[in-house]
Amino acid sequence: MVMKDISSTALIELSIDLAKSLNSLSRFDSLLSTIRKTITCEAVALLAYKGDYLVPLAQQGLSRDTLGRRFYIVEHPRFAEICLSNKAVRFASNCPLPDPYDGLLIDREGDLPVHSCMGLPLYFEDKLLGVLTLDSLSPHVFDDIAERTLEVIAAMAAVSLNTALTLELLESNVQHSQQVVAALSQPNVMAEQNELIGQSTAMAKLKQEISLVASSEFNVLIEGESGVGKELVAHNIHQQSARAKSPLVYLNCAALPENLIESELFGHVKGAFTGAEKDRAGKFVIADSGTLFLDEIGELPLGAQSKLLRALQSNEIQAVGQDKVINVDVRIVAATNRDLALEVEKGRFRADLYHRLNVFPITVPPLRKRQGDIVLLSGFFAEKTKRKLGLNQLKLAPDVLDYLSSYAWPGNVRELEHSISRAALKASARYQNNSEATGIVRIEVTDCDQLNPTNDSSYGELVTPNEPLTNLNLRQHIDDYQRKLILRMLQDEQGNVSACAKRLSLDRANLSRLIKRLGIHINKVVNVKR
């Protein structure tokens, strides 16, 4: 079948539909729907150009996880050719270049056969904003579409994309219109590792809160369970702030020996203590004019908390062993998986420091509360793992996405990433042993960890069905559950704390402190061979 040229009526209809669409998602979906009415194709996708890679904004005909993937242009020669062109690129049906959507079409299992593929670069004021791709299983279907017609479609799509991106940036920071223009023209080089993936209501609320507080100078306290992505939130706050060009300095309070905390925070001079062989700048000095991210702030000992408080109150520090006072300009972003209000009540965290940090609290939602985001994150991690393993394509079987979505993920995003990495390794090994391999590694449910589906709670039944729901101590029930789980893990791993930490997706130091707090004692037996 050969596609005839598109009528002017269809182009007018496309223009009207786009004008009626107010928000970016409906505008993009309307664009793709109208294109599929006029051009025969099995799949169509709109992708935003981010310098090194392309981000899918909307798609029809491809697997659900495609929106979570990030396509690095250097790894996809077809995308590279489209981005380098200033007009539509029609690939020959027998084109030997690999198709980035191999294995991702909904209507077809396995790799793509001989098919039609076309890409339209989307330019606005001579700047590449993104690309529009069309794939059809009918060879030569795009051959007879007039070049001028494709130019008109590309121009309308580019205007729509530019409008949506501009509105999105303006809504995120109305007070910084000049920064909006810069953001449109300059790709974020750190976006891949610090991008917040998700379109759920909970994530939309989180992104709105980040945008709101980023432009201020307020200290921020980020709360949330382990593995939810608190560090990513800190990065986004810094990148959207006026301090973005200054350093973001990271310090894990849980990993610091108590006797070195003051040195890490404020620095020391040579000879200040045993082992201080030279002067060393502390994190406050390094972060001057920037942001200091204090991760696991709830693990900071009370003695160190008082010294941190003085620095926050006066914006002055003293290196260990030095009388000179140093003035610093540092914004504090802190994170914790503890309930600091409860820690204050129990006397384990200073109330004055808590209120100094808690100027603008942000709670990162657990993965089980992010409806629909598991699919996007699965696609994101699949593409990331594909690059790490050097695979041509890594596909998630449709039932895998349903299987992953039915689990509560107590370890949150970190647990999901590790699970997909393990499944990819198993699938890759099976693929290498398959003599009929097609180039597409497909993750099946059998490759995934054994997950127990659950709807609402990551903790299971903490309370027995017949137990009255009055006068319950929630913290005690959670501690009891954690104690039982850790004891079981320790038994399975024969007391190996590192192995337990890996299975629980926890930092070893954090798990050791939790074991101590829960009153768990590990008795190790040494067997001597004779």
> pLDDT of 478-526, one tens digit each?
777 888 888 888 877 778 888 888 788 777 777 888 888 888 877 665 4
Report if pTM > 0.85.
no
Structure tokens belonging to residue 229: 């992505």
Contact 425, 471 (CB under 8 A): no
pLDDT reported for residue 184: 34
| DSSP-derived pairing of the beta strands 393-396 and 440-443 | parallel
Main-chain phi, psi angles of 495, to 5 degrees? 80, 10
- Return the closest-CA partner of residue 415 out of 386, 441, 448: 448
Burial of 259: CB neighbours in 10 Å, binned 0-12, 13-18, 19+: exposed
Q: What is the pLDDT of residue 490?
A: 83
Average pLDDT over the chain, rounded to whole?
A: 81
List phi, psi (to 5°) of 336.
-155, 150
- Cα torsion 450, 401, 377, 115: sign: positive
More confident residue, 18 or 96: 96
How far apart are alpha carbons 130 and 83 in whole angstroms? 8
Residue 118: per-residue pLDDT: 93
Mean pLDDT of 380-399: 92
278 exposure class (CB count in 10 Å sphere: 0-12, 13-18, 19+): exposed
**pLDDT tens for each residue of 407-460:** 989 999 999 999 999 999 999 988 887 655 567 899 999 999 888 765 444 444
pLDDT 10s digits, 142-175: 888 888 888 888 888 888 788 777 766 555 444 3
Q: CA-CA distances (angstroms) from residue 196 to 174, 231, 310, 380?
A: 20, 11, 34, 11
Does residue 175 or residue 220 have the better pLDDT? Answer: 220
